[in-house]
Chains A and B, each alone.
Chain A
């Protein structure tokens, strides 16, 4: 019941948060002295053509009116028409979502599967050579710029070792969509060739996203485990004669995971919303590439739509994290 109340409270905060977000993004995007109508019409287009475009998209209205109208449309499920693609922004986002979601899921899965055990082991062997190496690698993982890491991986795995493709989501066109996740769709159809091909294409962008995510998870897990290991209840469990592995994996890890879980949630939100550079470098046809193109074209509606969408994702992920934390830590209920 308390969990339900928590979830409801968070949901009630969602509309004002999104409204604030929309206002900030709207203001910032309109402060930039760009004229999407002129860009859309072309540099040599007559003013009549520019004005017609301005009128069609409501860009000739005062800014407050544009904002109010936009918010009203969004409430009715209409995120407007992209100035550049000339299609509903919501359709554009929905079409690109599976590509980004699939990439983010694989990246977070890899980051968690590798990061959690590595963080625990690093903490248990504090100051050992293994711990030092892990700390060095994680600092590197956090410090490396995504585009640089992406190019390094391309050069190593694609060009020198010839193991992976340089870019793209698949050779040619993907399977007819069921879920939009190429790997899942291929499995549903029993098409293992496409499944493995899709994995090969996923490998490098996934690794580029997973390495910094993994570094974050390792560091938080390590810190959490070290902190919990000093707790009295751990001494108590050890004094009770429980086997070491039970103490570690059942008691220490559960308590240590509370902080890590928050980070996993934030990292996952970042992967969904912030893979702009990685998607662009790998020509990954997802939301990040869409955001990049929209910014280049000053496509106000698309930028707003993308931001509201990612804002919603963050709020949703945070809600899930809060619920999960409450399950793990009864003190929070």
Chain B
């Protein structure tokens, strides 16, 4: 046992952290209940933390469930949460966690290592949600409760991002879930509408058509700071204009933080809304289908990279609401080389690269994501640049649901797709190995990119647990991806979280985009 994480964030540290958000303003109870209303453009229609794995519904998991570890702050740091200590074996395959004492579920029953084991088995059994994060390294029956306070994971191979992805192992009350199992369904029917968690907030009401309402769990092991939210409504509001009007009028306390620039300006102009601005870890880039000629020719991909007007797009069209990101790994993330030189808009260079292409050049097609103006605008920008270089590009718009199935088939896949790579866990692997390793064709590598050195480096980085030793590997991968023009890397998104004046401060974490109520302080 030579790697020990910790120390865990303690009660004092939590209070200090919360206090650091602002001065004490009296207790929420003394000044009346503090209510918080979030408008979301995704339906909160399923409460089971093991059946879904998306950012849209993450509020359910973050607030009503706990995991062994949790991401906080920006850039995200992994904190011990239900666990207070972890020991990792020298071969990097055995992780032994010590749980905090006196952990309790919402119903008052104790949370033990058995619940952690059951939760892992449930994810593996259901084959839904975050299953893909664990299935390659954790096999059913290999997770053991050594005693009520200790749980041990034995991986079938070293997996450096195991700690990072454990943030998605939401621990459920195994006794409660087991009592609702029907025909070996792991209690999934019951769990879609009920909560069996231990999180900082307890479910009060749920209507899949409206959203859910939760109230603070005073018995939670991590104390709340002053101005903490007493009760919160997470409501569904699909239409952007309605969410904006609701914010201006004060019907919502907050809504999503990735609104179009003009809507941000509209809310700012109202004077009723303030913004939490932060550089996120969500890169915007073009997927290039490298399996199809002529895109399998590196000079063709480089030519395309020189046809995109990065400054014009980032600063003029998006009004500077993003930051130029020359590689795939977001700038604030470790593993992103500080000195990385990306491509610049240079039509002459693009023409030269085109002249070097050995494959026969044909008209290309960009599939923009319909309903996402930024995706469509980027497609048009590249189309305009290509036209100047003498390359014909056709732009089509498709909904995400019809784009996704084509990710599995290079023949059906479009030539180019402008989209975002969001953070599900804050590790460079999320932006490199996951989406560019050739092992992940049909499972993340939608560009069908293959480079033996990238495969080798990302494989190496997966078996080393020391971050400082992994860092140069990812930096090299990032450079290779740019050199190879594996994608057209454009920008990193900035989070512009709109908040009503009732909100005093917010601790932003890109994993969850401030939907973790604990880190929000209200004016009381």
Check if B132 sits within 8 Å of A34, measured CB to CB. no
The verdict on A85 contacting B45 (CB below 8 Å), with A44-B443, A48-B127, A283-B239 known, is: yes
Check if B239 sits within 8 Å of A95, measured CB to CB. no
- Is the C-beta of A117 less than 8 angstroms from some C-beta in chain B? no
The verdict on A151 contacting B237 (CB below 8 Å), with A35-B405, A95-B208 known, is: no
Check if A42 sits within 8 Å of B53, measured CB to CB. yes
Q: Which chain A residues numbered 59 to 96 have a C-beta less than 8 Å away from chain B? A: 84-87, 92, 95-96
A87: chain B residues at CB < 8 Å are: 45-46, 189, 192-193, 208
Check if A86 sits within 8 Å of B51, measured CB to CB. yes
- Is the C-beta of B71 less than 8 angstroms from some C-beta in chain A? no
Interface centre among A35, A99, A159 (most CB of B within 10 A): A35
| Interface residue total, chain A, C-beta cutoff 8 A | 52
The verdict on A285 contacting B135 (CB below 8 Å), with A35-B405, A85-B45, A166-B242 known, is: no
Q: Which chain B residues numbered 14 to 43 have a C-beta less than 8 Å away from chain A? A: 39, 43
Query: In the complex, A42 Cα to B422 Cα: how many Å?
Result: 12
Q: Which chain B residues numbered 196 to 218 have a C-beta less than 8 Å away from chain A? A: 205, 207-210, 213
Contact with A281, one of B39, B239, B444 (Cβ below 8 angstroms): B239
Query: In the complex, A41 Cα to B424 Cα: how many Å?
Result: 14
B394 vs chain A, min Cβ distance (A): 18
- Is the C-beta of B401 less than 8 angstroms from some C-beta in chain A? yes
- Is the C-beta of B277 less than 8 angstroms from some C-beta in chain A? no
The verdict on A45 contacting B242 (CB below 8 Å), with A33-B402, A38-B405, A86-B46 known, is: no
- Is the C-beta of B251 less than 8 angstroms from some C-beta in chain A? yes
Q: Which chain A residues numbered 246 to 302 have a C-beta less than 8 Å away from chain B? A: 280-283, 285-286, 289-290, 292-293, 296-298
Complex: chain A residue closest to B211, CB-CB: A285
Check if B135 sits within 8 Å of A49, measured CB to CB. yes
Check if B210 sits within 8 Å of A173, measured CB to CB. yes
Complex: chain A residue closest to B205, CB-CB: A173
Check if A39 sits within 8 Å of B238, measured CB to CB. no
A97 vs chain B, min Cβ distance (A): 10
Contact with B239, one of A38, A48, A52, A280 (Cβ below 8 angstroms): A280
Query: In the complex, A46 Cα to B188 Cα: how many Å?
Result: 21
B131: chain A residues at CB < 8 Å are: 45-46, 49
Contact with B238, one of A85, A92, A280 (Cβ below 8 angstroms): A280
The verdict on A53 contacting B127 (CB below 8 Å), with A42-B53, A87-B193 known, is: yes
- Is the C-beta of B341 less than 8 angstroms from some C-beta in chain A? no
B412 vs chain A, min Cβ distance (A): 8
B388 vs chain A, min Cβ distance (A): 32
A242 vs chain B, min Cβ distance (A): 53
The verdict on A289 contacting B209 (CB below 8 Å), with A85-B46, A282-B242 known, is: yes
A292: chain B residues at CB < 8 Å are: 238
The verdict on A297 contacting B209 (CB below 8 Å), with A47-B443, A52-B127, A167-B246 known, is: no
Interface centre among B131, B207, B401, B435 (most CB of A within 10 A): B401
Chain A 4-33 near chain B by CB (<8 Å), digits 1 or 0: 000000000000000000000000000011
Query: In the complex, A86 Cα to B52 Cα: how many Å?
Result: 10
Contact with A285, one of B132, B205, B236, B412 (Cβ below 8 angstroms): B236
- Is the C-beta of A158 less than 8 angstroms from some C-beta in chain B? yes
- Is the C-beta of B318 less than 8 angstroms from some C-beta in chain A? no
Q: How many A-B residue pairs have CB under 8 A?
A: 149
Check if A154 sits within 8 Å of B404, measured CB to CB. no
Check if A46 sits within 8 Å of B132, measured CB to CB. yes
Chain B 217-257 near chain A by CB (<8 Å), digits 1 or 0: 00000000000000001011111011001101101000000
Complex: chain B residue closest to A279, CB-CB: B238
Check if A159 sits within 8 Å of B128, measured CB to CB. no
Check if A36 sits within 8 Å of B249, measured CB to CB. no
Check if A283 sits within 8 Å of B208, measured CB to CB. no
- Is the C-beta of A311 less than 8 angstroms from some C-beta in chain B? no
Complex: chain A residue closest to B37, CB-CB: A172
Contact with A283, one of B127, B237, B249 (Cβ below 8 angstroms): B237
Check if B442 sits within 8 Å of A47, measured CB to CB. yes
A159: chain B residues at CB < 8 Å are: 245, 248-249
Check if A95 sits within 8 Å of B401, measured CB to CB. no
- Is the C-beta of A165 less than 8 angstroms from some C-beta in chain B? yes
Query: In the complex, A40 Cα to B404 Cα: how many Å?
Result: 10
A39: chain B residues at CB < 8 Å are: 400-401, 404
The verdict on A154 contacting B245 (CB below 8 Å), with A43-B407, A45-B131, A87-B193 known, is: yes
Q: Which chain B residues numbered 31 to 83 have a C-beta less than 8 Å away from chain A? A: 39, 43, 45-46, 48, 51, 53-54
Query: In the complex, A85 Cα to B208 Cα: how many Å?
Result: 8
Check if B51 sits within 8 Å of A283, measured CB to CB. no
- Is the C-beta of A316 less than 8 angstroms from some C-beta in chain B? no
Check if A296 sits within 8 Å of B399, measured CB to CB. yes
Check if A158 sits within 8 Å of B443, measured CB to CB. no
Q: Which chain A residues numbered 149 to 164 have a C-beta less than 8 Å away from chain B? A: 151, 154-155, 158-159
A286: chain B residues at CB < 8 Å are: 209
Check if A33 sits within 8 Å of B405, measured CB to CB. yes
B46 vs chain A, min Cβ distance (A): 5
Chain A 294-314 near chain B by CB (<8 Å), digits 1 or 0: 001110000000000000000
B43: chain A residues at CB < 8 Å are: 84-85, 293
Query: In the complex, A282 Cα to B235 Cα: how many Å?
Result: 12
Query: In the complex, A52 Cα to B249 Cα: how many Å?
Result: 46
Check if B238 sits within 8 Å of A285, measured CB to CB. no
Interface centre among B46, B205, B242 (most CB of A within 10 A): B242
Check if A283 sits within 8 Å of B132, measured CB to CB. no
The verdict on A283 contacting B235 (CB below 8 Å), with A44-B443, A173-B205 known, is: yes
Complex: chain B residue closest to A82, CB-CB: B45
- Is the C-beta of A168 less than 8 angstroms from some C-beta in chain B? yes
Query: In the complex, A154 Cα to B136 Cα: how many Å?
Result: 51
B235: chain A residues at CB < 8 Å are: 168, 283
B229 vs chain A, min Cβ distance (A): 15
Query: In the complex, A280 Cα to B434 Cα: how many Å?
Result: 36
Check if A45 sits within 8 Å of B132, measured CB to CB. yes
Check if A92 sits within 8 Å of B208, measured CB to CB. yes
The verdict on A99 contacting B208 (CB below 8 Å), with A39-B401, A86-B46, A283-B235 known, is: no
Closest 6 CB pairs of A and B: A35-B405, A285-B209, A44-B444, A283-B237, A52-B127, A85-B45
Q: List 27 A-B contacts (CB under 8 A).
A: A33-B406, A34-B399, A34-B402, A34-B405, A41-B128, A42-B53, A44-B132, A44-B424, A44-B444, A46-B136, A46-B443, A52-B127, A52-B128, A53-B127, A84-B46, A86-B51, A86-B192, A87-B45, A87-B192, A158-B245, A159-B245, A159-B248, A168-B237, A172-B233, A280-B238, A281-B241, A283-B236
